[in-house]
Amino acid sequence: MAKLLSSSIARKVSMALSGLFLIVFLTQHFTINITSVISPETFNEWSHFMGTNILVQGVLQPILIFGVVFHFVMGFILEYQNRKARSVKYAKFSGNSNSPWISRNMIISGIAVLLFLGLHFYDFWVPEMNTKYIQGDMSGTMMIDGENQLRYHHETVEKFAHQPVRVGIYVLAFVFLMLHLLHGFASSFQTVGFNNKYSKALNGFTKAFSIVIPLGFAFIALYHYFSTL
Protein backbone atom coordinates (compact mmCIF):
# COMPACT_ATOMS: atom_id res chain seq x y z
CA MET A 1 0.00 0.00 0.00
CA ALA A 2 2.80 2.41 0.92
CA LYS A 3 4.52 1.61 -2.35
CA LEU A 4 1.32 2.26 -4.32
CA LEU A 5 0.70 5.54 -2.47
CA SER A 6 4.27 6.65 -3.08
CA SER A 7 3.90 5.84 -6.77
CA SER A 8 0.65 7.81 -6.97
CA ILE A 9 2.22 10.81 -5.25
CA ALA A 10 5.22 10.62 -7.55
CA ARG A 11 2.94 10.69 -10.59
CA LYS A 12 1.07 13.74 -9.29
CA VAL A 13 4.31 15.59 -8.53
CA SER A 14 5.68 14.69 -11.98
CA MET A 15 2.46 15.93 -13.53
CA ALA A 16 2.70 19.21 -11.60
CA LEU A 17 6.36 19.80 -12.46
CA SER A 18 5.83 19.10 -16.14
CA GLY A 19 2.87 21.49 -16.11
CA LEU A 20 4.98 24.25 -14.54
CA PHE A 21 7.66 23.63 -17.16
CA LEU A 22 5.10 24.01 -19.94
CA ILE A 23 3.86 27.26 -18.39
CA VAL A 24 7.41 28.65 -18.70
CA PHE A 25 7.32 27.79 -22.40
CA LEU A 26 3.81 29.26 -22.72
CA THR A 27 5.07 32.55 -21.29
CA GLN A 28 8.02 32.61 -23.68
CA HIS A 29 5.79 31.73 -26.64
CA PHE A 30 3.32 34.49 -25.78
CA THR A 31 6.12 37.04 -25.34
CA ILE A 32 7.32 36.37 -28.87
CA ASN A 33 3.86 36.13 -30.44
CA ILE A 34 2.56 39.39 -29.01
CA THR A 35 5.34 41.22 -30.85
CA SER A 36 3.62 40.18 -34.10
CA VAL A 37 1.02 42.79 -33.14
CA ILE A 38 3.37 45.37 -31.65
CA SER A 39 6.45 45.14 -33.87
CA PRO A 40 6.55 42.85 -36.94
CA GLU A 41 10.31 43.47 -37.26
CA THR A 42 10.94 42.24 -33.72
CA PHE A 43 8.69 39.23 -34.30
CA ASN A 44 10.64 38.34 -37.44
CA GLU A 45 13.99 38.67 -35.69
CA TRP A 46 13.01 36.66 -32.61
CA SER A 47 11.28 33.98 -34.68
CA HIS A 48 14.31 33.64 -36.94
CA PHE A 49 16.61 33.31 -33.93
CA MET A 50 14.41 30.66 -32.30
CA GLY A 51 14.04 28.80 -35.58
CA THR A 52 17.74 28.64 -36.46
CA ASN A 53 19.56 28.57 -33.12
CA ILE A 54 21.22 25.18 -32.67
CA LEU A 55 20.60 25.08 -28.91
CA VAL A 56 16.92 25.90 -29.30
CA GLN A 57 16.32 23.49 -32.18
CA GLY A 58 18.58 20.65 -31.09
CA VAL A 59 18.09 20.69 -27.31
CA LEU A 60 15.19 22.83 -26.09
CA GLN A 61 12.71 21.82 -28.79
CA PRO A 62 13.07 18.05 -28.17
CA ILE A 63 12.80 18.68 -24.41
CA LEU A 64 9.63 20.71 -25.00
CA ILE A 65 8.06 18.00 -27.15
CA PHE A 66 8.92 15.40 -24.52
CA GLY A 67 7.43 17.66 -21.83
CA VAL A 68 4.15 17.99 -23.75
CA VAL A 69 3.87 14.25 -24.38
CA PHE A 70 4.83 13.40 -20.79
CA HIS A 71 2.33 15.86 -19.30
CA PHE A 72 -0.60 14.56 -21.30
CA VAL A 73 0.29 10.88 -20.90
CA MET A 74 0.60 11.38 -17.15
CA GLY A 75 -2.71 13.22 -17.18
CA PHE A 76 -4.46 10.31 -18.85
CA ILE A 77 -2.89 7.85 -16.39
CA LEU A 78 -4.03 9.89 -13.38
CA GLU A 79 -7.51 10.29 -14.86
CA TYR A 80 -7.74 6.53 -15.35
CA GLN A 81 -6.65 5.95 -11.76
CA ASN A 82 -9.18 8.48 -10.46
CA ARG A 83 -12.03 6.93 -12.44
CA LYS A 84 -11.02 3.47 -11.25
CA ALA A 85 -11.00 4.69 -7.64
CA ARG A 86 -14.42 6.35 -8.03
CA SER A 87 -15.88 3.08 -9.30
CA VAL A 88 -15.52 1.68 -5.78
CA LYS A 89 -18.78 1.97 -3.86
CA TYR A 90 -18.61 4.13 -0.77
CA ALA A 91 -21.25 4.60 1.89
CA LYS A 92 -21.12 8.33 1.20
CA PHE A 93 -19.31 10.28 -1.46
CA SER A 94 -19.67 14.05 -1.88
CA GLY A 95 -16.46 14.92 -3.69
CA ASN A 96 -18.22 16.16 -6.80
CA SER A 97 -20.45 18.48 -4.84
CA ASN A 98 -17.45 19.93 -3.03
CA SER A 99 -15.25 20.57 -6.07
CA PRO A 100 -15.73 22.98 -8.99
CA TRP A 101 -16.56 21.80 -12.49
CA ILE A 102 -13.13 22.81 -13.79
CA SER A 103 -11.24 20.59 -11.35
CA ARG A 104 -13.54 17.62 -12.07
CA ASN A 105 -13.17 17.94 -15.84
CA MET A 106 -9.50 18.68 -16.36
CA ILE A 107 -9.35 15.76 -18.78
CA ILE A 108 -11.92 17.47 -21.04
CA SER A 109 -10.07 20.79 -21.18
CA GLY A 110 -6.81 18.87 -21.51
CA ILE A 111 -8.04 16.89 -24.52
CA ALA A 112 -9.29 20.12 -26.13
CA VAL A 113 -5.87 21.71 -25.66
CA LEU A 114 -4.17 18.58 -27.01
CA LEU A 115 -6.34 18.61 -30.14
CA PHE A 116 -5.54 22.29 -30.61
CA LEU A 117 -1.83 21.57 -30.33
CA GLY A 118 -2.23 19.10 -33.18
CA LEU A 119 -3.81 21.84 -35.33
CA HIS A 120 -1.21 24.37 -34.25
CA PHE A 121 1.64 22.00 -35.11
CA TYR A 122 0.00 21.36 -38.49
CA ASP A 123 -0.37 25.10 -39.15
CA PHE A 124 3.09 26.24 -38.11
CA TRP A 125 5.54 23.57 -36.95
CA VAL A 126 5.12 21.09 -39.81
CA PRO A 127 5.53 23.72 -42.58
CA GLU A 128 8.54 25.13 -40.71
CA MET A 129 10.20 21.71 -40.46
CA ASN A 130 9.47 21.10 -44.13
CA THR A 131 10.99 24.42 -45.21
CA LYS A 132 14.12 24.13 -43.09
CA TYR A 133 14.97 20.44 -43.03
CA ILE A 134 13.36 18.95 -46.14
CA GLN A 135 13.70 21.84 -48.57
CA GLY A 136 16.92 22.91 -46.87
CA ASP A 137 16.05 26.62 -46.71
CA MET A 138 17.43 28.01 -43.44
CA SER A 139 17.42 31.64 -44.60
CA GLY A 140 14.01 32.38 -43.13
CA THR A 141 13.23 34.67 -46.06
CA MET A 142 10.81 34.83 -48.96
CA MET A 143 9.74 37.30 -51.64
CA ILE A 144 7.21 39.72 -50.12
CA ASP A 145 6.02 42.73 -52.12
CA GLY A 146 8.91 42.26 -54.52
CA GLU A 147 11.55 42.18 -51.79
CA ASN A 148 13.38 39.32 -50.07
CA GLN A 149 12.26 39.63 -46.43
CA LEU A 150 12.01 37.52 -43.30
CA ARG A 151 8.83 35.51 -43.75
CA TYR A 152 7.57 34.79 -40.22
CA HIS A 153 5.21 37.73 -39.72
CA HIS A 154 3.84 37.42 -43.24
CA GLU A 155 3.16 33.70 -42.80
CA THR A 156 1.44 34.28 -39.44
CA VAL A 157 -0.87 36.93 -40.85
CA GLU A 158 -1.67 34.80 -43.91
CA LYS A 159 -2.60 31.87 -41.68
CA PHE A 160 -5.43 33.87 -40.08
CA ALA A 161 -6.38 36.18 -42.97
CA HIS A 162 -9.86 35.40 -44.30
CA GLN A 163 -10.00 32.24 -42.16
CA PRO A 164 -12.93 32.80 -39.74
CA VAL A 165 -13.33 29.08 -38.97
CA ARG A 166 -9.65 28.65 -38.08
CA VAL A 167 -9.72 31.81 -35.96
CA GLY A 168 -12.87 30.59 -34.20
CA ILE A 169 -11.21 27.26 -33.42
CA TYR A 170 -8.16 29.04 -32.05
CA VAL A 171 -10.26 31.32 -29.83
CA LEU A 172 -12.31 28.37 -28.52
CA ALA A 173 -9.10 26.44 -27.83
CA PHE A 174 -7.75 29.34 -25.80
CA VAL A 175 -10.94 29.34 -23.72
CA PHE A 176 -10.29 25.68 -22.89
CA LEU A 177 -6.66 26.56 -22.15
CA MET A 178 -7.91 29.19 -19.71
CA LEU A 179 -10.15 26.66 -17.96
CA HIS A 180 -7.28 24.17 -17.78
CA LEU A 181 -4.89 26.72 -16.33
CA LEU A 182 -7.36 28.16 -13.82
CA HIS A 183 -7.23 24.92 -11.89
CA GLY A 184 -3.97 23.34 -13.04
CA PHE A 185 -1.57 26.24 -12.47
CA ALA A 186 -2.53 26.85 -8.84
CA SER A 187 -2.90 23.16 -7.98
CA SER A 188 0.61 22.46 -9.34
CA PHE A 189 2.14 24.56 -6.58
CA GLN A 190 -0.04 22.86 -3.98
CA THR A 191 1.03 19.45 -5.27
CA VAL A 192 4.74 20.24 -4.92
CA GLY A 193 4.15 21.45 -1.35
CA PHE A 194 4.18 25.23 -1.75
CA ASN A 195 2.10 26.34 1.21
CA ASN A 196 3.20 29.40 3.17
CA LYS A 197 2.32 33.04 3.76
CA TYR A 198 2.79 33.82 0.07
CA SER A 199 0.24 31.22 -1.05
CA LYS A 200 -2.65 33.70 -1.25
CA ALA A 201 -0.66 36.13 -3.41
CA LEU A 202 0.57 33.27 -5.60
CA ASN A 203 -2.99 32.03 -6.04
CA GLY A 204 -4.01 35.49 -7.23
CA PHE A 205 -1.12 35.57 -9.66
CA THR A 206 -1.95 32.15 -11.12
CA LYS A 207 -5.56 33.18 -11.67
CA ALA A 208 -4.52 36.41 -13.39
CA PHE A 209 -2.00 34.57 -15.56
CA SER A 210 -4.54 31.89 -16.45
CA ILE A 211 -6.95 34.54 -17.74
CA VAL A 212 -4.63 37.13 -19.29
CA ILE A 213 -2.34 34.82 -21.30
CA PRO A 214 -5.09 32.81 -23.09
CA LEU A 215 -7.02 36.02 -23.78
CA GLY A 216 -3.79 37.50 -25.12
CA PHE A 217 -3.35 34.60 -27.53
CA ALA A 218 -6.98 34.93 -28.64
CA PHE A 219 -6.43 38.65 -29.20
CA ILE A 220 -3.44 37.93 -31.45
CA ALA A 221 -5.47 35.59 -33.67
CA LEU A 222 -8.40 38.01 -33.83
CA TYR A 223 -6.12 40.98 -34.51
CA HIS A 224 -4.48 39.33 -37.51
CA TYR A 225 -7.86 38.25 -38.84
CA PHE A 226 -9.55 41.65 -38.60
CA SER A 227 -6.47 43.58 -39.73
CA THR A 228 -6.74 41.94 -43.15
CA LEU A 229 -10.46 42.56 -43.73
97-109: average pLDDT: 78
87-113: average pLDDT: 71
Instruction: Please report the pLDDT score of residue 99 as a whole number.
Output: 59
Give the number of domains in the chain.
1
**Residue spans of alpha helices (H) in 121-198:** 126-129, 152-160, 164-191
φ/ψ of 163, rounded to 5, equals: -125, 65
Burial class (CB in 10 A: 0-12, 13-18, 19+), 107: middle
Q: How far is CA 221 from CA 68, 71, 191, in A?
A: 22, 26, 33
Residue % of the chain over a pLDDT of 90: 76
Instruction: Please report the pLDDT score of residue 177 as a whole number.
Output: 97
CATH code of the domain covering residue 34: 1.20.1300
93 has a pLDDT exceeding 50: no
SS3 149: strand
Q: For residue range 162-192, what is the model confidence (pLDDT) as tens digits?
A: 999 999 999 999 999 999 999 999 999 988 8
- Sign, CA torsion 153/158/162/165: negative
Instruction: Please report the pLDDT score of residue 217 as a whole number.
Output: 98
Q: How far is CA 139 from CA 12, 45, 48, 54, 171, in A?
A: 43, 12, 9, 14, 31
34-48: average pLDDT: 98
Instruction: Please report the pLDDT score of residue 5 as a whole number.
Output: 42
Residue 194 pLDDT class (50, 70, 90 cuts): confident
207-222: average pLDDT: 98
Residues linked to residue 144 through DSSP beta bridges, in sequence order: 147
Segments forming the whole domain that contains residue 216: 4-226
- Sign, CA torsion 106/112/118/121: negative
203-216: average pLDDT: 97
The Cβ of residue 151 has, within 10 Å, a number of other Cβ atoms equal to 20
Instruction: Please report the pLDDT score of residue 1 as a whole number.
Output: 39
Is residue 40 a contact partner of residue 153, using CB atoms and an 8 Å limit? Answer: yes
Q: Smallest Cα–Cα separation from 45: which of 159, 156, 150, 136?
A: 150
Q: How far is CA 29 from CA 17, 22, 68, 117, 176, in A?
A: 19, 10, 14, 13, 18
